[in-house]
Structures are given as C-alpha cells and as structure tokens.
A and B are shown apart, each in its own frame.
Chain A
C-alpha cells in the first residue's frame, strides 16, 4: 500500500469539495474492496476521504410506496429491513447471496455499486490489463476467461461486474442520487454503469468527486412476484457465474409486467430488455419464456472459456419465470 492522507470531513458537501481538489484521492466507504485493492496496489490513492458517516444510514419511505436507501446503509441492514424483504424479495435475496456475513456488515450500499471487477488479471499488477492500465492490453481475452462477459464486451475488456445487489437494482428501475462539485443529480440505474468500449477504466458515469448519497427504489407492480437466483462454483461465498433477478406479474395467463436483471454476464448489471419486450402481453408459458431468453442471448459473444454461460443464463431465466408464473396460477 502506498502512503495516504486520511480525511474525515464534517459533511457530504465538504467531502465533495475536498475530493474534487485531490485528483489522486478516493472516497472510503466500508473499504471491503478498496482496502484490498490498495494492499494489492491495484488502487494507489494518496488521499482517502472517509464518507461512511457522511451520507444517510437509514432507509426512508418515498411517496408512492418506494424506498430511499441511504448510501451508508450496510448491505446487512438493507437485506434485514422488513420493508425491503416484503416489497423487494429479489433485492434482499440478491444482497444475501453476496459475500459473507462479516463483509455484508461492513460494506455500504453506495460502495457496493462502486466495487471493481474480480477479473484475476485486473487484480494482478504483473499482468497487462486495460482497465487497470489503459493501453496495456487484455490478458483475459487470450487467457483464462471462464468467469468473463458474454454480453456487451469489447476488444479492450471482457470483465464482468461482480455486484449481486446491482443485478436486482437494475431490474427494479432504481435511481442513483449523486452529489458532485456542480450540484446534485440523479442517474437511472441502467445508465449508471458503463459497458467497457474503449474506456474500460471507467466503470460508471460518475465524474471525479461525485458522491453517491442514496439509491431510490420505486415500487414493483402490486401483483408481481420476484426472486433472485445465483449460480456459482460453490454453495456460498463466491461470485456469480450467472445470476438473475426476476419479477413477473401474470394476469389471465398473460404476462402483464416482467423485469429481468442478469449478473455475471457483462461489464455492468445487465437489463434484459429484449426479453422483457418480447414477453409483455405474451402468454405466460414455459415456451415463451424460453424463446424470450434466447432472443436476449442472441447477442451473446462467448469467449473460448465461457460458452457455458449462454445456455446457463437461458435456462436460469426461463426456469425462474416458469416458476413465478406457476405460483400465480
């Protein structure tokens, strides 16, 4: 770890002001990913601005039945909140599927969205990586790429986003609230994370100094049932090979509303809009669920090591939708 100054300003505005003037600095939340990356010297910050106590640590009601999740709420407290468990089972399940009890207690919700890929080449400073060192090359494309992206990747980067929470939030049409040097703004969740393109070093659309203050989650349609499922190499405490956050509302045998988020398949939490559009108004049958999942994955471009993710994602999505439809008969 390189030496760094530690700052804990009095409020969020002071933190934004401070970091905006420190090009080599970063915000510190729970630190579960950042401290590790600093140990590995993947991250080399000369200033840390501690924001863990500066943004809201509470979950508040929004008009219309949604919830505002303070950026400093821990992953544990989000998943334990009775309102989250009742209104957004897919979100509580997604958070509980991630990390371990200890890490969920430490990790903040804002920080969860800003965690970096677990691509082993990104985390190994002895290997080329365009995300860590732009222009150095991608070691995964010709290397071990079993864990990597099948959708939306580029010739520069095939990393996946590791967040389970994000996979649920994209399906929920969440909104990220941000405070920056030029004031506050909101970013729809689907536009918050980026595809790698030719700038894989940029995971999100945030500018330097911008601070996540909260995440707004609108209500799901009243009749929708929702669920999160995660496929991984061991039963617990591992990142997703493929995961899916799905909500479905069926009326009279027809799909009234459907939301599908996919994890482990792309550089960002992937919203399966092609599948959703194919399904709205269609019969809620196993055949149409499978066809919709296949339509979404028609754009998949698997690497030599991860072709299995395409049928896996198809089967997970089709299976979950079929189960949720069955439960609404």
Chain B
C-alpha cells in the first residue's frame, strides 16, 4: 500500500480471461475501470456505472457479477471472465453464435454483458436455483421458458429492445 496526498494505491493481481495480470490501482478503481482503462479489455461496457443496466457483467470467480460495483482492491487474485474470454479455442462460444444466428442485438453495446450474464444464468439453472417466477420455490427442477428467461435476465437492459430475439437465442443454447 502506498499513500500520496491521501490517495491510496495498492498492488493487486487479477486473472482475466485466463491470463494473470499484476497492476497497481487507486483503491477507488472499480473492477470495470481496471479491466477497461488499465488492462485495455473493453469487452465489458460502462453503461450506467451504477448497477442498473448490466452491460458491465463479468463472471467473477465463476458467478455473474457487476464489475462497476466491485472494487478492484476487494477482489485481489480473483478469476474474471469477460465476453472476450468465453470462447474455447478459435470458434465463438455457443451463446455468441446463437446471438448472431437470432439477430439478438441491434447496436451491440449491451451484448457482451447479455452474453456473459446468460452464461452465468444457465449455470444457475443447471444448479437448480429457482427464480421469482418459479411456481414451486421448493421444487428441484426449472423449466426455462420465456418467462423464466426474461425474469432471470432482467438485470440486463437493452435500449434497442432486442429482447424478443435474445430470449430465443438463450433458449436455443439451454436445450
């Protein structure tokens, strides 16, 4: 820790899309700003910067999270996956292909957050997590219909309103 004029810098490490990075951050730096401004990974987007739009969504230690509300310093050593790191090998991730196939975007700004969020969401469904629209919260199985997808993806806004194509893109991969 290094302090100058009240501003505090801390050395941290982050594993981003499989690559280890060492960097020094002002304690005020969000994970989103560390990714975009310091590590030049512009896949997660800064939409609202207040946790209301979902465009900054990343997988943080395996679970979807908002990088704009995470302080980099509080996630030392974390494993971060952005949309840019989802692909296994040279081809796109199945959700990325499905978004292209279904035309599930217009301007594309929210898309990396939508796709990462959908990856995290499908893992939650596989783990049997219920949602606010799951009829029997105590039951063990979830049928991922349009209503379930809309509810589980409600943290990702699309100002172009591509929702009608986002839902089938996700449903195709969920099958």
Residues of A within 8 A of B (CB): 1, 3-6, 8, 28, 31-32, 35-36, 38-39, 48, 50, 52, 76, 79-80, 82, 85-86, 89, 92-93, 96-97, 99-103, 105-106, 235-237
Interface string of B45-72 (1 = CB under 8 A from A): 0000111001001001001111001110
Judged by a CB distance under 8 angstroms, whether B111 is at the interface is no
**Is B137 a contact of A4 with CB atoms below 8 Å?**
no
Contact with A along B94-134 (1 / 0, CB 8 A): 00000000000000000000000100110010011111101
Interface residues of B, CB < 8 Å — how many?
46
**Residue B154, interface by CB 8 Å:** yes
Q: Does B10 contact A (CB under 8 A)?
A: yes
A106–B54 CA distance with the chains assembled, in angstroms: 13
In whole Å, how far is B46's beta carbon from the nearest beta carbon of chain A?
12
Stretch at the interface among B22-30, B35-43, B81-89: B22-30
**Which 7 pairs show the lowest CB-CB distances between chains A and B?**
A100-B155, A236-B154, A237-B154, A96-B132, A80-B129, A105-B63, A85-B138
Chain B proximity of A112: nearest CB distance (Å):
14
**Complexed CA–CA distance, A86 and B137 (Å):** 8
**Cα distance, A104 to B38, chains bound together (Å):** 27
In contact, B63 and A28 (Cβ under 8 angstroms): no
From A5, A103, A236, give the contact of B150 (CB < 8 A): A236
The answer to whether A36 and B74 have CB atoms under 8 Å apart is no
Pair A79/B129 contact, Cβ less than 8 Å? yes
User: CA separation between A76 and B130, bound complex, in Å?
Assistant: 10
Q: Which residue of B27, B71, B155 contacts A103 across the interface (Cβ within 8 Å)?
A: B155
Interchain residue pairs with CB less than 8 A apart (19): A4-B28, A5-B3, A6-B1, A6-B10, A28-B74, A39-B49, A76-B63, A79-B130, A85-B137, A101-B124, A101-B153, A101-B155, A102-B54, A102-B64, A102-B117, A103-B155, A106-B70, A236-B132, A237-B155
Alpha-carbon gap, A41 to B62, bound state (A)? 31
Given A80-B130, A105-B65, A31:B152 Cβ within 8 A = no
CB distance from B79 to the nearest CB of A (A): 14
Nearest CB of chain A from residue B157's CB, rounded to whole Å: 8
Cα A206 to Cα B138 with chains together (Å): 34
Cα A85 to Cα B124 with chains together (Å): 15
Q: Does any Cβ of A come within 8 Å of B158's Cβ? A: no
Contacts of A93 in B (CB 8 A): 132, 137
Q: Are B69 and A3 in contact (CB under 8 A)?
A: no
- Specify which of A4, A39, A89 is in contact with B50 (CB 8 Å cutoff): A39
Q: In this assembly, does B73 line the interface, its C-beta being within 8 Å of a C-beta of chain A?
A: yes
Which B residues lie within 8 Å of A85 (CB)?
130, 137-138
Chain B residues within 8 Å of A32, by CB: 51, 66, 69
